[in-house]
Amino acid sequence: MELEKVINERYSVRKFSEQEILQSDLNKILEAGRIAPTACNFQPQRIFVIKSKEAKEKLKSICRMTFDAPVILLSCADMTKSWKNKREEGYDSAEMDVSIVGTQMMLEAWNLGIGSCWVRAFNSNDVKEVLELPENIKPIFLMPIGYMTDESIPNKELHYTRNKMEDMVKYI
Ligand X SMILES: Cc1cc2nc3c(=O)[nH]c(=O)nc-3n(C[C@H](O)[C@H](O)[C@H](O)COP(=O)(O)O)c2cc1C
Helix (H, G, I), strand (E, B) or coil at 166: helix
The residue type at 15: K
Stretch near ligand X under the rule CB under 6 A, chosen from 19-27, 39-47, 48-56, 114-122: 114-122
Least distance to ligand X, CB of residue 10, Å: 7
- Select the span of 30-38, 69-77, 107-115, 119-127 touching ligand X (CB under 6 A): 119-127
The rounded distance, in Å, linking the Cα atoms of 13 and 72 is: 13
Task: Work out the number of other CB atoms within 10 angstroms of the CB of residue 45.
Answer: 24
- Please name which of 133, 13, 113 lies closest in space to residue 68, comparing C-alpha atoms: 13
Candidate residues 121, 165, 168, 169; the one interacting with ligand X per rule CB under 6 A: 121
Using CB under 6 A, pick the residue from 74, 98, 117, 140 that binds ligand X.
117
Residues near ligand X (CB under 6 A): 11-12, 14, 65, 117-121, 154, 158-159
